[in-house]
Amino acid sequence: MLNTETPAAQHASLDQYPTVELVNVLVDDQFRAVEAVRAAAPRLAAAVTAALPRMDAGGRLVYVGAGTSGRLGVLDSVELYPTFSWPRERAEALLAGGREAMFVAVEGAEDDAGQGAADIGRISVDKNDVVLLIAASGSTPYVLGALRAARAAGALTIGFANNPDAPVAREAEIGVTLDTGPEAISGSTRLKAGTSQKIALNTFSSALMVRLNKVYGNLMVDLKATNAKLVRRAIRLTAFATGAGEDQARAVLEQCGFQVKVAIVALSKNIPVEQARALLETTGGSVRASLAT
């Protein structure tokens, strides 16, 4: 029996626990998720390193999964645009059962390996793309079908699984095993297995965006100011990075369409925003390199 399906022996009487103890057990079990991702950190670092040249070449991040795993892939893909200005068309998410499966379980969709392969073909995955294949069991047919089609297309494949020696991790070019063990509620991988996947995906995509110059220091300097909260954040970030007052930061941000990177370089070097934008283009979007020029 897979570890993720094995009943946890220490919690055979879970339904009889007093409520406070029940809650504490469910919370404490989540610590295993962090431990599992920490153990997989070298593999995540290797995945970031391997993905970087493909992103520099214009490739896409393609997330593939079913159920909880697929929904976590959708979540990570959607958040890259507002957080890092990553183009929406360069973050695809394939979910077994299609878009409606984000909200309603589509029974049997995860068992269709052919559909996984077909979905990879439908979006024309190629050698510059990075395909992230996520499956708690590590053997979901939809995900395996997508993995094999992605490898055949020459894409970089990164497999995430919560069981040791699982096919998704074994067959991918880079396998990331998140060994979270049995769940407190047996087989409910929406618990710590899902938590570990969320941490791993956040870690991978955030580290990749840092390497792509989307972060200056630890500041989110490539955000999209798409609402009032993010406008305020852009102003605060620009003021913090440059030492300018918030009124001055807002004025320069308004000149450059609230591009925080451009505003930081313009204010720090006391140059027009167009010159700052051109300078960033020559440095691959690196604020640090632009300020050193």
By C-alpha distance, which of 212, 173, 222 is closest to 55? 212
By C-alpha distance, which of 61, 53, 102 is closest to 84? 61
User: By CB neighbour count within 10 A (0-12 exposed, 13-18 middle, 19+ buried), where does 288 fall?
Assistant: exposed
Active-site residue identified among 5, 35, 92, 110: 110
Two tokens at 3?
């570890």
138 Rama class: left (phi>0) / alpha (psi -120 to 50) / beta: left
Tally of helices (H runs) and strands (E runs) in the chain: 13, 5
Active-site residue identified among 5, 21, 35, 79: 79
Q: Is 79 a catalytic residue?
A: yes
How far is Cα 253 from Cα 264, in angstroms, rounded to an integer? 9
Which residues belong to the active site?
79, 110
